[in-house]
Amino acid sequence: MKDNFDAIISRNTLFWLLITNVAVLSPLYQQATLWSIGICAICFVWRVGIYLGKVAAPPKLLVTSLAVGAATTLALVSSEIGLLNALVNLLILGYALKYIEMREQRDVKAIVLVGYFLIALTLLDQQSMLNTLHLLAVVIINTGILVSVYQDKSNKIANLGFSVKLVLHSLPLAILLFVVFPRLGPLWMVPNIKSATTGLSDEMSFGDINKLTRSAELAFRVGFENPDGSTLGPANQDLYWRTLVMENYDGKTWRQDQSIKTIQRQAYFQKPQREQAVITANNRKIEYMVISEPSHQKWLYGLDEAFSDNNQIVELPDYRLYSLRPIDQRMSYRVVSYPNNIMELTLKDNTKQLNLALPPNSNLKTQTLAKRFAQDYPDPQTRINAMMNYFAEQAYYYTLSPPSVGEQQIDDFLFENRAGFCAHYASALVFMARASGIPARMVTGYQGGEYNPQAGYYSVYQYMAHAWTEVWLEGQGWQRFDPTAMIAPQRILDGFDATFDSQSSYLQDSPFSPLRMKQYPWLNELRQQLSSLDYYWSVWVLGFDEERKQQVLSKLLGDVTSSKIALMMILSFIIIALVIGYYAGLFSINRNDDPLNKRYNLICQRLAKKGITRPQGQAAHDFANHVQTTLAQQHPAIAREFMALSTAYMALKYQPLTTLQTRQHMQQFMRLYRTLRLRLLHS
């Protein structure tokens, strides 16, 4: 088919351009600045005016001025919104400005190509199942523009239907390449100067985790892979998802030590070495897969001493998992944990001093209490147990709305307020342990998880953020102690939901969260079923790594070899090409796919059964006259209706019609076709 690049854009194409413009740009609204949104709105309103015939195309000077102004503005604010967002906005503005100044069909093709690029860019950031289905619909609409260019006389529904067929024809090839093509990592890294972060931070003060308890956002999901095929993980009280270790305390804020930050920065170039753990006699292994939501940070989640064979993940000396790249999109990785391993059996002198350090002249009352514990309980194990029991024996309370504290935070909490949440109790225990001579540090992460029996996985939400204490004991290494379990045991045994009412905690700022369905059993089951679909999507599509690819190919081919894969690809390409060629009409196969011809010929066949045969090559008009002459006396209604049917048929086949005329003739043809089919059947 020959391109006519200089042809004027038809109204049919203009209509599809209006729909496509909104469809392509709408998923990118979060990345767009107000300036970009304003220019896109101006361009859209102007194009609506052109479609309605109210305004003419804007002068090129105006379009150029808008382009220069937009580029200058983006250059000025790029340091605030981030380089990646600035580039996205530049592409959005280019798309909108090209959209408003297009005049010929060559411009339409450029708009379509840029639209496909924007869709692909959106898919990099929005990969959930619902977002993917949404973007697939956008692809169909964008393809509808090209269809309207080449099939201008077709109605809009026909354009959309043909666009759907084109996309469906491409799916087998896409699936083949997805299954067979090697899994490749990113070819480049795009710097992201600033981006919104979700979840834990590498600094923690008393109010930080309290803020997270109001967030119902999903942090990550976990699927356990047990040897017996079951999907249940450890008990809730054992689900401590280790994320960050903080060893520096200045009296107000807990922070990561500078030494571990240096290791993190150098991890991409020099893989850190973790001290070999001591394996105990009752050693056991837990295998699971984690699907992390975008956090725009690099820290990951694991139970106890965790290992991952992912080449983009390293194991840090403080027994955490760390990604070499920021988690800017969903990331799945496999983990093996050894909960009974001894972590750091021998403590280095500098690590010991770091985890015994206290800010000068800080919380003197707490230091006095800690020294009394040291005198009464010389054995460190007995001493730390006594400190844990102290929280249970005294009148302490667990609350998400604790009273404020002053400069001496720990003193105010322990001796005045006596009410707080996990960060208060963990901080107090670390401080007392250090003051009594026991190395201790703060660990933050998440505790617990909501089990989904539909798909067999755990969902961990931001409101499950938690803080606990690790102390170092001779011969035992780092051991976990959670004073929250002494104050609010249900928080640890049964999870956050068992302790706090959703209306007063994690759903307070989320009035439309699906988690509100928990109180209605059938709605909660529906919520979990929908979540299961998204989980399967994450596992089998987003998490389709080399291991899963080998599993699929093994089921299809048996022993996976290069020759078998090459043969499968060649055969698949041939089959796909034959199917596409068949539907494109490239093969000389006697078939009649035109529904109009098919219906007309059916009526002619039924007339033949009545003795009225249409000679080969006879024009439809001449045959209609013959039928009318033959049946005028016996069946005047059939003669009259067949003449009208033939007139509509010839108009649809051979006359240039407008969209309205085409619809009217088609309606008349279908009405007469149904009537004649019944009349000829019973007459």
Mean pLDDT for back-to-back runs of 10 residues, the chain (683 residues): 55 82 84 82 85 80 79 74 77 83 81 87 79 88 83 69 84 79 51 49 74 78 90 92 94 91 88 72 85 90 92 91 88 91 90 94 93 95 95 87 87 91 92 96 93 91 91 94 89 67 58 66 79 82 72 77 81 79 61 76 87 86 88 86 91 86 89 86 69
Amino acid 587 reads F
Tokens of 643: 């003449």
- Token pair 């909108």 is at which residue? 96
Catalytic residue among 318, 466, 497, 665: 466
Cα-to-chain-centroid distance, residue 103: 37
Q: Please report the pLDDT score of residue 504 as a whole number.
A: 53
Pairing of strands 248-249, 465-473: unpaired
**Does residue 208 have an active-site annotation?**
no
Q: Are 252 and 295 in contact (CB under 8 A)?
A: no
Q: Please report the pLDDT score of residue 281 as a whole number.
A: 60
Catalytic residue among 257, 482, 497, 665: 482
- Cross-strand partners of 8: 104
Q: Distance (Å, rounded) from C-alpha 374 to C-alpha 382?
A: 10
DSSP state of 276: P
Give the number of other CB atoms < 10 A from CB of residue 262. 10
The values of phi and psi at residue 482, to 5°, are: -120, 100
Q: Distance (Å, rounded) from C-alpha 481 to C-alpha 398?
A: 17
> Which residue in 615, 590, 614, 616 sits closest to 604, CA to CA?
614
Catalytic residue among 412, 422, 424, 665: 422
Q: Please report the pLDDT score of residue 500 as a whole number.
A: 59
Q: Distance (Å, rounded) from C-alpha 443 to C-alpha 265?
A: 20
- Token pair 């093969």 is at which residue? 587
**Does residue 422 have an active-site annotation?**
yes
pTM for this structure? Answer: 0.70
> Which residue in 152, 162, 14 sits closest to 662, CA to CA?
152
Q: Please report the pLDDT score of residue 551 as a whole number.
A: 73
**Does residue 626 have an active-site annotation?**
no
Q: Please report the pLDDT score of residue 191 as a whole number.
A: 43
- Cα separation of the two ends of the chain: 47
- Token pair 């929250």 is at which residue? 484
